[in-house]
Structure 1
Amino acid sequence: MKTKKFTGDRIFDFVNVTVILLITIIILVPLLNVLASSFSGSTALAEGGFIFFPKEWSLDNYRAVFKDTSIWKAFFISVAKTVIGVVTHVFFCAMVAFALSKKDLRGRKLYTVMGIITMFFSGGMIPTYLLMKQLGLLNNFMVYILPQLFSYYDVVILMNFFRQIPASLEESAQIDGAGVWKIFLSIAMPLSKPALATIALFNGVYQWNDFMTAKLYMTNKDLYPVQMKLYEIIVQQQAQSMNSIGNVALSTTSKGIQLATIVVTTVPIIIIYPLLQKHFVSGMMLGAVKE
């Protein structure tokens, strides 16, 4: 049976479609401009304005980015710290959340208060630097991993998911002889894949884009992630541009290098996101409606 739409519903649909279309255009126009400009020559970039299709098609900007062979080592460091960081962060937060989701946990209220405090207060940059120094994490790969192990915000999300698991499942597992670890790994974790994927996506994007950790705690260039390495390339290109003014025409500009680095650092996330999108949407929506 078809239902007839009222005038108000049609107006609502029209406004929704219009707003979504405008937001999409606002998002896509800058992205297209960055992508097209990164493949354009220095003369086209010097003219300024929006570019929706590469002018004077050129790969010089990308050649300048990948000219330094150490960029591949930086990519490896970024991939390693992202993968290891995500796995350890999700697993550690899941363990804490699973324990806090149990009402019979001793000291549960104290642990909850301690977790909430970490959401609103921190030691600040200088005390944190001194702490990392005392822990021996300066110029150490583990500085990318250990400080990011815990996030109480993520613990709260996982706690809500674990609470939705029927108690009868755990009771049945206990009757069959399963211990706490068996229940956590074989029941709680598989049933919470949407939440785990959501947290993994958020933390993975943060780990990949993290720049300040290397800036503050790293002087060993062999441990630079790709973000820090690309920052170095941009600074060097700007210095070369300043030194070359009035001498020779450059095939690349600092702006072109910047645009190329934006594309290089964004593409991996764009590739990975669709793989987690299904779980991400489920994780955001699950629990939103109570029956």
Structure 2
Amino acid sequence: MRLSTGDKIVSIFIYTSLTILAFVSFYPFWNSLVISFNVGQDTSLGGITIWPRKFTFDNYYVVFRDQRILDAFFISVFRTVAGTFLSVALTSMFAYGLAVKGVIGKKYYMIFAVITMYFNGGLIPFFLVNRELHLMNTFWVLVIPFAVSVFNMIIFRTFFREIPGELEESAKIDGCDTFGIFFRIILPLSGPVFATLGLFTAVFHWNDWFNVIIFIDKTELYPIQALLQQILRSNTMSEALNAAVSGSSAAGDIMSLSKSVTSKSITMATMIVATLPIIAVYPFVQKYFVKGVLVGSLKG
């Protein structure tokens, strides 16, 4: 099919705009990656754009010798895994209860749930509730308060309602109870929506730093993003450099680190370490996005 001149102009405009948008979105990450592999003293001179001028691994050497960063990284991993599993499990079961027929009062449960999505008590009541539950300064304050998402529940519920009811009736005839139907019938058929909403939940837990600063005073419980935020707001990278230098066995290593590493270069290396794991997950679930979210939401 031949395009008219007007269609060609529109297509050129769209593709040019998308290319510029993609470049503007991707370049800051790429520049941070380049700086993390460049000698810190050389980076301070400026002019580092799309490729390292003096390549080095010293910045990552310092990062991985800092025990605080390693501990924060593993806390982030554990929080993401535990928080995602708990949230997806509870939210999906809540949604299934509101999707099946015959549940008494499910209309009012849905109204109450939606109200909490639009109106909440605010930060201070949220803080007081967590304090009264003795969750403050514990790992579980990062998981339990976010165990159920109403927005995700609505998507789950809409997706479940699209599954033919005859499958559930057949399972009941075969003797399955409600939990059996959910885990043996509904769960295997809902892979796309579970993968997509699981990714969204994982991204939230991995990137969240604000709630950490509000509810946790102990820096040893900080995930990587909260520690990175603290690093960006202070000069604590000098402590990491001092720790790496003091751990070097040779005088040549000490001189090399002091000449090639700066606070900015270490900060960029820490940002890359904190960002790459969650980015690496996207390719494995990207194929589920349209089928899992768009179908589950637009049909509602």
Is the TM-score greater than 0.5?
yes
Report the Cα offset of residue 122 of structure 1: 2.1
2:283 maps to 1:284: no
CA distance in 2, matches of 1:4, 1:205: 43
Structure 1: which 5+ runs fail to align? 242-248
CA 1:196 to 1:240, structure 2 compared with 1: closer, same or farther past 3 Å? closer
Other-structure match for 1:32 = 30
CA distance in 2, matches of 1:206, 1:236: 27
Give the letter for the 1:35 counterpart.
L
Give the letter for the 2:15 counterpart.
V
> Are 1:101 and 1:163, in contact at CA under 8 Å, matched by a contact in 2?
yes
TM-score, normalised with respect to structure 2: 0.85
Report the Cα offset of residue 276 of structure 1: 1.3
Root-mean-square deviation over aligned CA pairs: 2.3
2:20 maps to 1:11: no
CA 1:137 to 1:163, structure 2 compared with 1: closer, same or farther past 3 Å? same
Aligned residues: 281
**Residues 1-291 of structure 1: matches in 2 within 5 Å?**
3-234=1-232, 235-237=234-236, 251-287=260-296
CA 1:219 to 1:266, structure 2 compared with 1: closer, same or farther past 3 Å? same
**Residue 286 of structure 1: SS of its match in structure 2?**
helix
Report the Cα offset of residue 19 of structure 1: 2.0
Partner deviation per Cα, 1:26-50 (whole Å, 9 max, x = no partner): 2232222111112222333223355
Give the letter for the 1:77 counterpart.
I
Give the letter for the 2:18 counterpart.
I
> Are 1:65 and 1:230, in contact at CA under 8 Å, matched by a contact in 2?
no
> Are 1:237 and 1:253, in contact at CA under 8 Å, matched by a contact in 2?
no
Report the Cα offset of residue 161 of structure 1: 0.2
Give the letter for the 1:277 counterpart.
Q
CA 1:53 to 1:68, structure 2 compared with 1: closer, same or farther past 3 Å? same
> Are 1:65 and 1:233, in contact at CA under 8 Å, matched by a contact in 2?
no
Give the letter for the 1:102 counterpart.
V
> Are 2:228 and 2:271, in contact at CA under 8 Å, matched by a contact in 1?
no
**Residue 44 of structure 2: SS of its match in structure 1?**
helix
Partner deviation per Cα, 1:111-154 (whole Å, 9 max, x = no partner): 11211121122222222222111101112221111111111100
CA 1:167 to 1:230, structure 2 compared with 1: closer, same or farther past 3 Å? same
Report the Cα offset of residue 90 of structure 1: 0.5
> Are 2:99 and 2:158, in contact at CA under 8 Å, matched by a contact in 1?
yes
Partner deviation per Cα, 1:225-245 (whole Å, 9 max, x = no partner): 12233344453436779xxxx
**Residue 47 of structure 1: SS of its match in structure 2?**
coil
CA distance in 1, matches of 2:298, 2:141: 40
CA distance in 1, matches of 2:42, 2:138: 43
CA distance in 1, matches of 2:296, 2:222: 40
TM-score, normalised with respect to structure 1: 0.87
CA 1:73 to 1:287, structure 2 compared with 1: closer, same or farther past 3 Å? closer
Report the Cα offset of residue 265 of structure 1: 0.9
Report the Cα offset of residue 93 of structure 1: 0.6
